Amino acid sequence: MDSADTSVQGFNEQGVYPCPACRLGQIQALSLMDAMACNTCRHIFTANLQRQWLLMVDRSPPLVWHWNGRNWTGAHVEGVKLGWRYWLSAVAFVLLPPTLIGVSAYALVTASGASPPLLSIVWTGLTFLLHLALIGRSIIGFYRFPVRTYFSTVGRNLFSR
């Protein structure tokens, strides 16, 4: 190791780091290339050492993480941020439709005096789950989270114990 290694926290291309994309593998420099790769999810990264940034370049625009000395923070797409407006509309998208269905079913029930029909309860639950799944899929797609690799690696780790 050279004398410049006094700042252990500094991110450099010679080190081995946890993968910010799958959080299971490790990234390290590819030989003969100005890039780094994960040994689990196979995403390709490049480093911006001045800013201590890591860019996932196999998607466009690239995802960016910042190295804070111990781990990766602040995944965001270069130039794009999922601001509070996105999260607010995501929450509204998930919660509003089932709430509307539930409230209208409840209003019908209290008007007629009967017990709530099972169908409207199931319907409300299904609407909630469907909208949650849609939002989840869009977030996973946005961050390119490798769901399949994640679960297969977790499964392999479980069975190898």
Selected from 36, 37, 41, 54, the binder of Zn ion by CB under 5 A is 41
Select 56 or 101, whichever has its Cβ closest to Zn ion.
Answer: 56
Residue in 61, 63, 69, 57 with CA at minimum distance from that of residue 18: 69
Q: Does 63 bind Zn ion (CB under 5 A)?
A: no
Q: Does 20 bind Zn ion (CB under 5 A)?
A: no
Select 27 or 90, whichever has its Cβ closest to Zn ion.
Answer: 27
- Total residues contacting Zn ion (rule CB under 5 A)? 7
Q: Does 19 bind Zn ion (CB under 5 A)?
A: yes
Select 42 or 66, whichever has its Cβ closest to Zn ion.
Answer: 42
Selected from 36, 37, 38, 101, the binder of Zn ion by CB under 5 A is 38
Which residues make Cβ contacts (< 8 Å) with residue 56, sequence separation at least 6? Answer: 21, 43, 44, 45, 62, 63, 64, 65, 144
Q: Does 54 bind Zn ion (CB under 5 A)?
A: no
CA–CA distances in Å: residue 14 to residues 23, 35, 156: 19, 11, 28
Q: What does the radius of gyration of the chain's CA atoms come to, in whole angstroms?
A: 23
Q: Does 124 bind Zn ion (CB under 5 A)?
A: no
Q: Is 54 exposed, middle or buried (0-12, 13-18, 19+ CB in 10 A)?
A: buried
Which span sits near Zn ion by CB under 5 A: 19-27, 48-56, 64-72, 92-100?
A: 19-27
Select 25 or 102, whichever has its Cβ closest to Zn ion.
Answer: 25
Q: Does 47 bind Zn ion (CB under 5 A)?
A: no
Half-sphere exposure of 48 (CA within 13 A, CB side): 12
Give me 77's structure tokens.
């797409």
Give the sheet arrangement for strand 36-38, strand by strand.
Answer: 17-18, 26-29, 36-38, 44-48, 53-56, 63-67, 72-77
Selected from 11, 17, 22, 54, the binder of Zn ion by CB under 5 A is 22
Which residues of this protein are in contact with Zn ion, per CB under 5 A? Answer: 19, 21-22, 25, 38, 40-41
